[in-house]
Structure 1
Amino acid sequence: MIEWKDVTSYRLGERGTRAPDAWACNVGGLRISVVKGHVYNPGRWSLRCDPWFDVTDLDLSSDATGEEAKKASLERVRCQLQNSIDPISEALK
């Protein structure tokens, strides 16, 4: 089970009064971050996961939930990992 941490930047006394809009997790040595309203993508969900994704728009509707954004980010990273593994697997045959 992946443990997502709320990494939202709250103002003093604001925690618990509004929904989180940023999460991060560490999986297999990768740090995956999801944020809504990044300065480059205002009002949109974005993904960051070095070395492949640097503030990448997740192409979700503006009313998508954080859970949907987390799931979409994991799928994007999984696809990128698979695209990286396939040529290596082919070379080993």
Structure 2
Amino acid sequence: MNAWIATKDPANVDAAADQIAQHEPNRLTEADGDREFAVWMYGVDRAIRRRTNGFSHRDLPDFGWKDAYNNDLSPALAAADAIAHWEEIGDL
């Protein structure tokens, strides 16, 4: 489990995962059924949207999201790293 998500109340994580499953089930599919990872990716997308006026992780070049999760990055830090990568390769 990611260190960031481990700091969250498990009941809140479960509730967020339930909401994702109900309203955006494709997020769970993309996360291979890993509910905690799906919640983390939702946080990534929120951070990206705040910094880019509406983009999501799907709009960015390939990035090692699961590696970032496994390396205990927070969603905000992973989003910042992905945006920096996007800027570096010249697409932003």
Q: Which of the five TM-score ranges fits, normalised by the shorter chain?
A: 0.3 to 0.5
Name the structure with the higher helix share: 2
Name the structure with the higher strand share: 1
What's the TM-score once normalised by structure 1's chain length? Answer: 0.36
More contact order relative to length (CA 8 Å, sep ≥ 6)? 2
Which protein is bigger by CA-based radius of gyration?
Answer: 1
What's the TM-score once normalised by structure 2's chain length? Answer: 0.36
